């Protein structure tokens, strides 16, 4: 390719002027990047360097491969064109920079390599196509989840300018030469345009070639210096954020020893921005403001204050506001004057409570912990753990929660269940169907974890009885804990009361370890998640299976053979703590598909995109006073499938769907049933009802 020619500018040669520009803009970028890095260091330590091989695989799939972004075709293709184009074009920019700084280097291997030259100009065009798609999306189609942003339009304009200046630099460079060299023929766009500009003459072509080279380089350097101050900071941080993604089980919250924290004067939950981990703070830098989280969040979709996107952005703005004062307080901002306007503003911002003012109580309590935001986020931001950490501060430090949450805590503490049923009645559901306790049969192969709903809620007792009869029919030797079982602790933990969770969970772990339990099956996804992913933190490691997994196994092995046609159109709802948390999607469908006469239909929004019923995060025990009821919206979505029945695999979902059916006047015409109930009906003799 043509070697760039640099005239003198006054007494300075062009390459020296370029060096000065690189130093100046590089220093501006480094200064801003160092400031942001110092803010990250304010966060608590956390090890995110384990399992590098797995992290690189995720990086390859979701950064280089744009995996999550491509789940939405238009936006994904748009972003992928720009991203992949930048990867290719950055190599050319580096070549231009090297040759500009060292004019004696007339060429590098890559700029003589024909396949790369074809790829380069192809992607320069494709990036322009991507920019056009982005502009159309922001200015014409304008999805509700996208906020109008002058910054976004400015960045898109800069990207387009970078592509255009690169193309014109190549065009006028080829136009300057009397004969196009062999490698330059592969710059097919530049070569075609060069035929149009050659009549301008060599001098004009050389001048324009140099002009567009400078325009391109200054745009690159300016873009670099501007990024740390832009909403597009994620261009720099998102690859790191994906690499540092959480490798903990998806259903496991961070462990907090409340007593030890009190003894050591450590934070309980998060009440100040610096009490988040450094990775939590990196999340705030990385938000792309795409709004995918908001579009999937059931609270946002029903008009509640919670917006996962806004929550992350509010945390970012708060960090940037109070960061200077926090650094000064830690003695890290050497040479700064404590009375500057920036510090005064930081002090004023620092006086605002993170929990209650920056992030309102309503925002935190509206979360159902369904994980839809985290599943949708293309850069792996972790919203739910942050919300739970702030709930912990509300519940255990501020003691600030509604009467319904207070009632939940009181009931769990007094009777081991959310409704305050007497502990002595926990095993009454099984009295007449010959179910043994572990005390009666300590050699049982399987512990059936019944849960509070299966033990005490009248509707879910029918599910527990149906499942127990199925186990008996399949010849499974199982037992229950009976009165030794108490609440798994999930509602307490998700509502922020880590201390109460640990009291309840420890009782269960001690009971199961006493019987040396190996395998557990649970009908409640919330109990299933807690026992499987969270009890190991307390020394309780078991093989935990959800009942739809167990039933699918029994059907596959021929121990349960559906032989009675139900002749029904059934729509299955994916529970959040079964689907998004544990990727259990196929097993319940396998059971339903094995039932003769069942015609299964999918609800709009199913599998990983299924909307929450509104019950998770202990919300089932709280009044829903803001916006539209989530379970009503989810029922409306289910009705679009025109089912004759709705199948569920979660006691909370069963409650929420039946409540919605009553409110919508379809309770008598649209039965809601657990998968176990439907399977038992398909096994029962003609004329015999289950229940």
Residues 6+ apart with CB under 8 A from 591: 548, 551, 552, 555, 675, 678, 679
DSSP run (H or E) holding 445: none
CB atoms within 10 A of CB 266: 13
Q: How far is CA 423 from CA 270, 436, 528, 530, in A?
A: 34, 18, 21, 21
- As a whole number of angstroms, the distance between CA 615 and CA 122 comes to 50
CA dist., res. 483 & res. 148, Å (int): 58
Give residue 305's pLDDT: 93
Classify strands 446-449 and 478-479 as parallel, antiparallel or unpaired: parallel
Cβ count within 10 A of residue 72 = 17
Tell me the angle at which helices 308-329 and 278-286 cross, rounded to the nearest 10 degrees. Answer: 120
| Confidence (pLDDT) at 55 | 95
Burial classification of residue 536, based on how many CB atoms lie within 10 Å of its CB (0-12 exposed, 13-18 middle, 19 or more buried): middle
Q: Which of 450, 456, 524, 536 is nearest to 490 (CA)?
A: 524
DSSP H/E element including 183: none
Residue 217 to residue 196: CA distance in whole angstroms = 25
The single-letter DSSP state of residue 424 is G
The pair phi, psi for residue 524, each rounded to 5°, is: -105, 120
Tokens of 113: 């390599």
Structural contact between residues 660 and 629, judged by C-beta atoms closer than 8 angstroms: yes
CA separation (Å) from 75 to 53, 66, 602?
29, 11, 25
Report d(CA 206, CA 2) in Å as an integer: 10
SS3 content of the chain, % helix, strand, coil (to 5): 60, 5, 35
- From 90, 87, 95, select the one nearest 173 (Cα to Cα): 95
Spatial neighbors of 441 by CB under 8 A, at least 6 apart, are 477, 479
CB 159 within 8 A of CB 178: no
pLDDT of residue 12: 59
Q: E strand or H helix at 275, and its extent?
A: none
Give the gyration radius of the chain's Cα atoms. Answer: 31
**What local confidence, expressed as pLDDT, does residue 370 receive?**
96
Buried b (16+ CB within 10 A) or exposed e, 436-475: ebbeeeeebebbbbbbbbbbbbeebbbbbbbbbbbbeebe
Contacts of 237 (CB under 8 A, 6+ apart): 282, 285, 286
Q: Within a 13 Å sphere around the CA of 100, how many CA atoms are in the beta-carbon half?
A: 24
All structural domains of the chain: 8-243 (1.20.950), 258-400 (1.10.1060), 413-551 (3.40.50), 555-683 (3.40.50)
| Tokens of residue 155, six digits | 């960045």
* pTM, entire model: 0.89
Could you list the mean pLDDT of each consecutive 10-residue stretch along the chain, which spans 691 residues? 48 77 93 94 93 94 90 86 88 83 72 81 90 86 76 87 89 75 73 85 86 90 90 90 95 93 92 95 94 94 95 96 90 50 57 90 96 95 97 95 95 96 94 93 96 96 97 96 96 96 97 96 97 97 97 96 92 97 97 96 94 95 93 96 96 96 93 96 64 43
Q: Enumerate long-range contacts of 414-418, CB under 8 Å, 24 or more apart.
A: 416/452, 416/486, 416/487, 416/504, 417/452, 417/455, 417/456, 417/486, 417/487, 418/452, 418/487, 418/491, 418/621
Here the tokens at position 663 are 């409110």
Name, in order, each residue with C-beta under 8 angstroms of 651's C-beta and a sequence gap of 6 or more: 451, 453, 454, 457, 460, 463, 523, 524, 674
């Amino acid at each position: 390719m043509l070697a760039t020619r640099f005239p003198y500018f006054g007494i300075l040669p062009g390459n020296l002027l370029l060096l000065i520009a690189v130093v100046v803009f590089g220093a501006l970028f480094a200064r801003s990047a160092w400031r942001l890095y110092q803010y990250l260091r304010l966060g608590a330590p956390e090890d995110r360097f384990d399992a590098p091989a797995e992290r690189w695989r995720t990086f390859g799939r979701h950064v280089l491969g744009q995996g999550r972004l491509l789940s939405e075709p238009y936006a994904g293709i748009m972003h992928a064109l720009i991203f992949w184009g930048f990867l290719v074009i950055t190599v050319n920019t580096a070549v231009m920079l090297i040759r500009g700084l060292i004019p004696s280097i007339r060429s590098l291997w890559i700029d003589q390599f024909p396949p790369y030259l074809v790829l380069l100009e192809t992607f320069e065009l494709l990036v322009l196509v991507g920019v056009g798609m982005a502009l159309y999306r922001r200015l014409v189609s304008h999805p509700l989840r996208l906020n109008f942003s002058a910054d976004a339009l400015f960045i898109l304009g800069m990207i387009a300018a970078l592509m255009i200046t690169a193309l014109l630099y190549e065009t006028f460079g080829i136009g300057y030469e009397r004969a196009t060299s062999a490698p330059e023929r592969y710059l097919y766009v530049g070569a075609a345009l060069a035929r149009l500009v050659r009549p301008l003459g060599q001098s004009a072509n050389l001048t324009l070639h140099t002009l567009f080279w400078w325009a391109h380089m200054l745009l690159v350097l300016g873009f670099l210096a501007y990024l740390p101050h832009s909403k597009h900071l994620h261009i720099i941080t998102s690859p790191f954020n994906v690499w540092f993604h959480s490798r903990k089980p998806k259903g496991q919250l961070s462990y907090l020893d409340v007593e030890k924290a009190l003894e050591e004067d450590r934070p309980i939950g998060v009440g100040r921005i610096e009490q988040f981990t450094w990775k939590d703070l990196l999340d705030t830098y990385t938000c792309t403001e795409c709004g995918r989280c908001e579009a999937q969040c059931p609270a946002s979709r029903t008009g509640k204050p919670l917006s996962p996107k806004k929550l992350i952005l509010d945390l970012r703005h708060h960090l940037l506001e109070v960061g200077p004062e926090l650094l000064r307080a830690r003695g890290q901002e050497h040479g700064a004057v404590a009375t500057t306007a920036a510090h005064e503003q930081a002090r004023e911002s620092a006086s605002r409570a993170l929990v209650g003012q920056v992030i309102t109580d309503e925002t935190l309590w509206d979360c159902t912990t369904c994980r839809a935001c985290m599943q949708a986020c293309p850069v792996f931001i972790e919203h739910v753990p942050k919300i739970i950490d702030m709930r912990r501060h509300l519940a255990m430090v501020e003691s600030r929660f509604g009467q319904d949450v207070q009632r939940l805590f009181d009931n769990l503490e007094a009777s081991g269940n959310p409704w305050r049923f007497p502990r002595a009645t926990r095993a009454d559901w099984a009295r007449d169907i010959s179910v043994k306790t572990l005390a009666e049969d300590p050699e049982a192969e399987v512990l059936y974890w019944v849960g509070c709903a299966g033990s005490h809620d009248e509707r879910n007792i029918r599910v527990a009885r149906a499942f127990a009869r199925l186990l008996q029919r399949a010849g499974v030797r199982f037992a229950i804990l009976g009165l030794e079982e108490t609440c798994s602790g999930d509602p307490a933990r998700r509502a922020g009361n880590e201390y109460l969770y640990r009291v309840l969970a420890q009782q269960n772990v001690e009971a199961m370890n006493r019987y040396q339990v190996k395998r557990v099956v649970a009908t409640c996804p919330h109990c299933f998640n807690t026992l499987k992913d969270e009890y190991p933190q307390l020394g309780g490691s078991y093989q935990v299976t959800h009942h739809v997994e167990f039933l699918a196994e029994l059907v596959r092995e021929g121990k349960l053979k559906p032989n009675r046609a139900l002749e029904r159109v059934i729509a299955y709802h994916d529970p959040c703590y079964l689907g998004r948390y544990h990727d259990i999607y196929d097993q319940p469908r396998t059971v339903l598909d094995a039932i003769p006469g069942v015609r299964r239909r999918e609800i709009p929004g199913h599998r990983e995109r299924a909307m929450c019923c509104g019950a998770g995060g202990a919300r089932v025990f709280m009044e829903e006073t803001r916006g539209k009821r989530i379970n009503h919206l989810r029922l409306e979505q289910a009705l679009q499938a025109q089912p004759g029945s709705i199948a569920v695999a979660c006691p909370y979902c069963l409650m929420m769907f039946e409540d919605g059916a009553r409110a919508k006047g379809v309770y008598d015409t649209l039965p809601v049933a657990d998968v176990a109930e439907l399977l038992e009906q398909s096994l029962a003799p003609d004329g015999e009802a289950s229940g």
